[in-house]
Structure 1
C-alpha cells in the first residue's frame, strides 16, 4: 500500500468525500474513491467516514493506494498488417478494436503482444509494458502507427513528434454539417473536471491544435480530414465535441443517438516522418477499413435513416 495524506483546501470544501479525493488526486477516479471508502482505507481526522461526508476546511484525509500488480507481457501470434519494416522502424496499420499496449484491464490481445511475437527487438525506453511504442491511437481508432525497434530510433522519432515535424492525417466522420471548408481548433485539452474518465477542453489544459478540411457533406454528417499539430489524449474526439460536431459512433464523446456499433469513425490514414537512420522523408497511407468505407457509401446513397435530434 502506498500511504498518502491530503489537507482539505477551499477548492473542495463541502464536496462529498469521494468527489473531493478524486478531484485532488488525479490517480484516483470517483469510482475508486467510493470503493476505498467502503473498504475503510480512508479516514478523516482519524475517523472512518461515509462517501457522502462533506469535507471541511483543514480536514486531514489519510488514505492508501494499492500498489499496481506487475504485469507479465507475453508474445502472442496475432496477425499484423505491417506496412513497412526495416532494422529501425515498423509501420503498422492497427485495426479498430485493438488496444495499443497492455494495461490492468487489457493484458493480452494488444498491439504490443502481437509485436513481441513478430519482432524480438523493440526499443526499451518505455519499459516492458510499452516496448517500441512511440505514440498511440485509441482502441477504436484504426490506422497507422510507427514503432521503434531500438532506443536510438525511438529517441529520434519521439523528438520529431515533440517538434511537430511528423505529419499525421486522420479521416473523421462527424455529426452535423460543417458549413465552412476548413478550419483550426486551438483549444487546450486536459482531464475533465466533471468526469475523470474523460478529457475535455479546459482552461489549464495542455496546448492542443487540430487543423481540418471538409471533404464531403452528407445529410446530418460531414467527412473531414484532420491534421494534428499536437497529440493530446483523445484530441480529435474532444475538439470536435467542443465545436459541437462530435464524431459519429463515439460512445464516450458523441451523442446518444449516433451510428455504428464499433466505436468512433476515426482513421489514421497518413503518417510521414524522417527515417532516424537515413534521414529520408517517408510517407505511408492506409485505406479506410471496411466498416468506415461501407458507412460512407451508405451516406452517399442516402440509405441512412435520419437521426432525431438529442
Structure 2
C-alpha cells in the first residue's frame, strides 16, 4: 500500500482539555495512542499557536493546534487478529454477530488508529465476517464512536450485509441510547430536529448548521439528578456525533465530553474519562425475516458515575 500525502488536522483546544499534556489531550481528540502523539510531537508535527509543542507541554484553552498525522503503516485490509479486552459477544449465528463494544475500541481499522478494533477482535475469536464492503470495513454495517460503548451488529454473511446495510439506510433499525447530560432538558420529553454539518473551524468536530444534513433525535427523561439527567435517546437519523451535537446545542452536553462543552469539574466528580453515552438497544429485522432485539448493559464506569449522582441527590 503506497502512502499518499499526510493528512493535517487543525483545531482549537477545547476548554475541557486546557492544562492537559499534549500527548494525553491529543490522544483524546484524535483517537491516537499517546505513544503515537508523543512521536509526532518529537518530530515537530504538532504545533500550538504556530509554535512547536512537546509531548509534555500543556494545552492552552483556545490555542490553535496544527497536527500532521502519521503515514499509514500497514494495509488496512490485512488487519491482524487481536483479542479485544472486554468485548462481549451478545449474539451470534451464521448471518450476524452482535457485540457489546467497550470504550476505546474502533469499529474497524483506520489510518492513524493503532488501538483495538471490533473486526480484529472477532477474527481473534474465530468468527467469519462477511467479505462485502470496502476492504478495511468488511462486514461493518454501522459504527459506534471509539468513545461510545454498547451494542453493535456485524454482518457474518453476504446476505446479511446486504439486508442490514439497506435497513440502516432506510432507517428501519431501532437505535436506542442512554445518555447522561448536564442540567435538566426542558421539556423532559422532546424531539431535537436540527441539521448537522462539520464545524467550520474544526474538521474533527460537528455542529448544528443550517447547511447541514437532516438530523432528528427523540429523547425522554429516565432519571433526574441535581446536576444532570439520564435520558433515553431514540435516533431517527444517524449522523456522526448526532447525540453529542444535539444536546450540546441545547446547552446540555453529555457528561464527560469536553469536545462538546462538558463541565470538567462535574466530569472529575463522576470519575469519567469519556462521554457518558451507551448504545443500549438495537432492534432490526434479521435476514431470515424475524424481528430481533439485542440489549447491552452499562459498563462499570458508567454505572459508577450514576451511583455517585444518586448518593448526593
CA contact (8 A) 2:70 2:112 kept: no
**What is the distance in 2 between the residues matched to 1:116 and 1:86?**
15
Look up the match of 2:54.
none
CA contact (8 A) 2:182 2:255 kept: yes
Q: Within 5 Å, which residues of 2 pair with 1:133-172?
A: 133-172=140-179
Q: Do structure 1's residue 30 and structure 2's residue 40 form an aligned pair? A: no
The alpha carbon displacement at 1:288 in A equals: 1.1
The alpha carbon displacement at 1:192 in A equals: 0.6
**What is the distance in 1 between the residues matched to 2:130 and 2:144?**
18
Residue in structure 2 matching 1:275, options 275, 286, 297: 286
Q: CA offsets, 1:132-191, max 9 Å, x none? A: 111111111110001001222111111111111110110000011123221111111111
**What is the distance in 2 between the residues matched to 1:232 and 1:247?**
16
Change (3 A) 1:213 1:151: same
Q: Do structure 1's residue 210 and structure 2's residue 217 form an aligned pair? A: yes
Look up the match of 1:301.
311
Q: Do structure 1's residue 78 and structure 2's residue 84 form an aligned pair? A: yes
The count of corresponding residues between Structure 1 and Structure 2 is 249
CA contact (8 A) 1:122 1:131 kept: yes
**What is the distance in 2 between the residues matched to 1:224 and 1:284?**
19
CA contact (8 A) 1:140 1:262 kept: no
| Partner-residue secondary structure (3-state), 1:197 | strand
CA contact (8 A) 2:82 2:121 kept: yes
Structure 2 unaligned residues grouped into runs of 5+: 12-39, 45-49, 51-68
| Partner-residue secondary structure (3-state), 1:29 | strand
TM-score, with length taken from structure 2: 0.73
CA contact (8 A) 2:104 2:115 kept: no
Quick check: which has more Rg, 1 or 2? 1
Change (3 A) 1:120 1:196: same
**What is the distance in 2 between the residues matched to 1:67 and 1:106?**
11
**What is the distance in 1 between the residues matched to 2:235 and 2:105?**
21
TM-score, with length taken from structure 1: 0.74
Q: Do structure 1's residue 226 and structure 2's residue 206 form an aligned pair? A: no
The alpha carbon displacement at 1:77 in A equals: 2.6
**What is the distance in 2 between the residues matched to 1:142 and 1:120?**
21
The alpha carbon displacement at 1:116 in A equals: 1.6
Q: CA offsets, 1:82-104, max 9 Å, x none? A: 11000000010111222221122
Larger RCO (CA under 8 A, 6+ residues apart): 2
Change (3 A) 1:66 1:172: closer
Which structure features the higher share of helix residues?
2
Look up the match of 2:299.
289
Q: What is the RMSD computed on CA atoms of the aligned residues?
A: 2.4
| Partner-residue secondary structure (3-state), 2:281 | strand
